Chains A and B, each alone.
Chain A
């Protein structure tokens, strides 16, 4: 297996304000010893065919029943599932530990797509608070706005909102990337520990408050910096990465990344970064 923890990559990530990128869900397999391969198996996952497509109308279903039915469809090999009439229901699509192409034709309530590891999700609507909380890997794209605590505590994957998001975006995040096409509210990146946040619009007060690590890129105005957040130099490497990421995210491809503001943590926690990768996993 490829080992990304080469000297070159490590140096590159450090120049971007990141010290490593190893705390990301299933993607950690890149760092695992092949002898521990069995640890990568998730009980209850399925072999699915992305060309096998079905629709599920959840209008009259509870969130629990809808989630069970998604699981049932995956067990039948459906790799593309279109959810009709989500109508703002809470906790839809949670706990999917599978490769899956999931499309919501409408808006989700709170805690949508929480604790997922692997699916590619498109939400043709809006999401409420705490969307994709604890996301481990995969990609979640929201076509409209998102509520507060967007991407709380995510560990990996890409979380993309094409509209604006509420307060505390990326709170406590431990990896992965959050990309927002519009504005973000107060306390963006609050207590973040790893990962990257890209906001193309304006952000509210207390940006990056109490952040331990990670990097935030802001395209618009900043309400104010929070405690421990400081501006840093935007390097060529940063700009290359930003361009690539925005292109992949289908958002702001023509955005002038050279004018973005980069924010990193201004403090270093005692002994926080002296741990070996496997020790960090245990600590978190």
Chain B
């Protein structure tokens, strides 16, 4: 069991960091091994924002091996060197935690594949997100803990998706936590609730096409699968529709891009989703109580049906 939540404001910005924190905290009983946020903040759109990690959180409950902070420093140095070689200029640098960093980069590139491959060739380094609006923040603990640790409650933006995870098939660590970045696409993120049963078959096929997997979490497949479809020329919605037959198992997942938010539900409708939709706001989550945290008044909600795909624009 895991919990997912997402919301999109249409035609305006709002305090999406705080709103998503409330939604995910309401779902913490569905899992609090880790919690992740994909926030689409208000930016000037000039620079890339790269969230990346140079190590794992080795706190209580983690399945990761402890490393010395000097190892993180060494990795960071190589990242800085590679960025310079790639022609990316660091405009702003924040080391939020010893293992977690946020860079604003002046970088002119359309395809981020080469960029990402080079940065992630450094052992222990993973790009959590890359985009001009998207920032993926994920760590161990429940929504409140992660929000406090990364000061997310002040983030203003148009939309966001998030995940409260109960680890079942892979480790309790940041690399297995959601959301997953839709590597190598700028500003694409995915969260998933469910289980994919043809993970390894699909993974082998996609790896043969040059796609990368950072974890053994089956949910990562969705991000990679859709990213590959988009590389082949499909739109986001077309990629999501293809996933209904291409992915086997039970799932409800959300995908977000710079200006849109989508949901898909498997053909068995085995995983829950409650949806609220109005002219200026769409909010959805694994349970209605998530939506209630942002809309406490009486509202009309519904469950999307089996095999349903929906996409909303900001």
Contacts and interface: CB of A to CB of B under 8 A. Distances in A.
A205 B296 CA distance: 34
A186 B298 contact: no
A26 B254 CA distance: 45
Q: Which of B268, B289, B305 gathers the greatest number of chain A CB atoms within 10 Å?
A: B305
Given A129-B272, A167-B268, A145 B305 contact: no
Nearest to A124: B298
Interface in B229-276: 267-270, 272, 274
A106 B288 CA distance: 12
Given A87-B289, A126-B288, A185-B269, A166 B300 contact: no
Q: Which of A88, A107, A110, A145 has the most C-beta atoms of chain B within 10 angstroms of its own C-beta?
A: A88
Interface in A156-183: 163-168, 183
Interface residues of A, number: 30
B305 A128 contact: no
A110 B267 contact: no
B interface SS class: loop
A186 B305 contact: yes
A235 B270 CA distance: 35
Given A166-B269, A205-B306, A109 B300 contact: no
A180 B116 CA distance: 52
B268 A147 contact: no
Given A88-B287, A148-B272, A204-B306, A126 B267 contact: no
B79 interface: no
A175 to B, nearest CB: 25
A90 B116 CA distance: 44
Interface in A77-111: 87-90, 105-107, 109-110
B89 interface: no
B303 to A, nearest CB: 4
B242 to A, nearest CB: 19
A254 B299 CA distance: 28
Nearest to A147: B303
B291 interface: yes
A88 B268 contact: no
Interface of B: 267-270, 272, 274, 287-289, 291-292, 296, 298-303, 305-306
14 contacts: A88-B291, A89-B289, A107-B299, A109-B288, A128-B288, A145-B303, A146-B303, A148-B303, A166-B269, A166-B305, A183-B305, A187-B268, A205-B267, A205-B306
